Structure 1
Amino acid sequence: MNTKRSTVIATICARGGSKGLPRKNVLQFGRKPLIAHTIAQALACPSIAEVYVSTDDEEIAEVAAHYGAQVPYRRPSELATDTASKIPAIEHLVRHLESYGRRIETVVDLQPTSPLRASWDISKAIDLAHDAALVVSVTEPSHSPYYTLVEQSMDGVLHLSKRAAFVRRQDAPQVWGLNGSIYVWRRDALAEAAKHGFWSVEARPYVMPRNRSVDIDTAEDFELAQWLYMKQQTQQAPI
């Protein structure tokens, strides 16, 4: 394991189990395994010193190492269940690195199922983190909670998820959806979130377009992402 001091590292959490799309992290996407795209994007980001993968799976570990990531250990089983939160897994990895004397100030967590981001998306999100405990990537949702998202009450009647008295749509506040692609954590904020939950720290947005915000969870998502990826390649989009 590299012993140089690092201030900015990237983490990629990839479990072996997946119910929606089995073995999705190592499925061929384009000409390489899905997780390899995220590794390449992180390695292409100048401000990231090292890229680490946290996994419980031998095949994922081998693929990640082949494409340039460091895999310091196999993730403990209790942090790799279907119900386990990702934040404790990130914190576990960071503490492991710190136990070797590593100095870590910023943790850039990248979702391996978001292959359509660009390396400069990561760089821009990191730039925003100078004044934020946490920067999260977001995208414009297809529906606004002020006008079209509804919930069903106990009596079966629908009502708006977020009530407001705006006459025009343009008067409603801008809303975004978390796309899961990029999380830039200040080290102390990550520790706080590991203890008290994601929303215990202040977060600021990095806005991404929908065509780079697909999160692959199902076979349909995979097909859509493949189509968008091929379109990006035709247009010679950056890594």
Structure 2
Amino acid sequence: MKDRTVAIIPARGGSKRIPRKNIREFGGRPMIAWSIQAALESDVFESVIVSTDDPEVTEIARQYGAKVPFVRPPEISGDQVGLNPVLKHALNWLEMEGGGRPSFLGCIYATAPFLRASDLRAAFDRLNEKPESEYVLSVCTFPSPVERAMTTNEAGEIRFMWPELRLTPSQALSECFHDAGQFVIGRATSFLQQDSALSGHCLPFVLPRYRCQDIDTPEDWEQARHLFSALQATSAS
């Protein structure tokens, strides 16, 4: 029997810093539409499901080809709720009402306009090639060594966070990654048993920095919009 793989796109209605962020127009369509398109075009997932508490998000998600078979409960729809309770709720619903628990779950962020279908295919293939691994997470590198990070002291003066490393050559410092905020694909049982992908055996899927942009603040949004336009123009030329 073929392994069943399902995508979940968490997309609650509320957003304080960027109101209605998940369905706000971006690049000519609602933001969430880009994530839905990448998931559908990847041919990795049997179903692409949006988990939301919001009727307008539901309507738009269905318009762009996703399924919305349940309403996310209020207790896991607040801005302080983490990702895992939302995924566990979706997996439990699938097991009880949606044809059984899938073997693999892909969590795709609703604000990932730079995500490509080819990324999802390659990441899923990588996970399949490593049966001892539980997840694969989209990441990208920091643009400069994190060991050179600075902060301010109580007097407001700038200081190195790790002054003992200030003279260490850059090439001697470790390469570090951060979450690219695009997707995590994993084994369904691992999502149910653990609180985070980094709690288990997690592989990195490294994306280029020019296709990574966190979108949490209005400044992030503007930067992403300009980057998206530049990439679109490059593709068209």
TM-score normalised by L of structure 2: 0.88
Tell me whether 1:85 sits opposite 2:82 in the alignment: yes
**CA 1:9 to 1:152, structure 2 compared with 1: closer, same or farther past 3 Å?**
same
Q: Which residue of 2 aligns with 1:234?
A: 233
Superposition pairs of residues 109-188 of structure 1, within 5 angstroms: 109-130=107-128, 131=130, 132-146=133-147, 148-151=148-151, 158-161=159-162, 167-188=168-189
Q: Give the Cα–Cα distance (whole angstroms) in 2 for the partners of residues 32 and 81 of structure 1.
A: 25
Please say if residues 180 and 214 of structure 2, whose CA atoms lie closer than 8 Å, have aligned partners that are also in contact.
Answer: yes
Deviation, structure 1 residue 191: 1.1
**CA 1:127 to 1:161, structure 2 compared with 1: closer, same or farther past 3 Å?**
farther
RMSD: 2.3
Q: Give the Cα–Cα distance (whole angstroms) in 1 for the partners of residues 6 and 213 of structure 2.
A: 24
Q: Give the Cα–Cα distance (whole angstroms) in 1 for the partners of residues 162 and 194 of structure 2.
A: 26
Question: Per residue, is there more helix in 1 or in 2?
Answer: 2
Deviation, structure 1 residue 198: 4.5
Q: Give the Cα–Cα distance (whole angstroms) in 2 for the partners of residues 74 and 169 of structure 1.
A: 49
Q: Give the Cα–Cα distance (whole angstroms) in 2 for the partners of residues 161 and 85 of structure 1.
A: 30
1:174-232 CA distance string (max 9 Å, x none): 111111111011112111224xx443212111000112111211222222222222222
SS of alignment partner, residue 182 of structure 1: strand
SS of alignment partner, residue 179 of structure 2: strand
Please say if residues 166 and 172 of structure 1, whose CA atoms lie closer than 8 Å, have aligned partners that are also in contact.
Answer: no
Number of aligned residues: 230
Q: Which residue of 1 aligns with 2:48?
A: 51
**CA 1:99 to 1:224, structure 2 compared with 1: closer, same or farther past 3 Å?**
same
Please say if residues 14 and 53 of structure 1, whose CA atoms lie closer than 8 Å, have aligned partners that are also in contact.
Answer: yes
Q: Which amino acid letter does the alignment assign opposite residue 56 of structure 1?
A: D
Identity over aligned pairs, percent: 32
SS of alignment partner, residue 146 of structure 2: coil
Structure 1: 5+ residue stretches without partners: none
1:138-194 CA distance string (max 9 Å, x none): 111133222x21355779783425965983211222111111111011112111224
Q: Give the Cα–Cα distance (whole angstroms) in 2 for the partners of residues 88 and 163 of structure 1.
A: 40
TM-score normalised by L of structure 1: 0.87
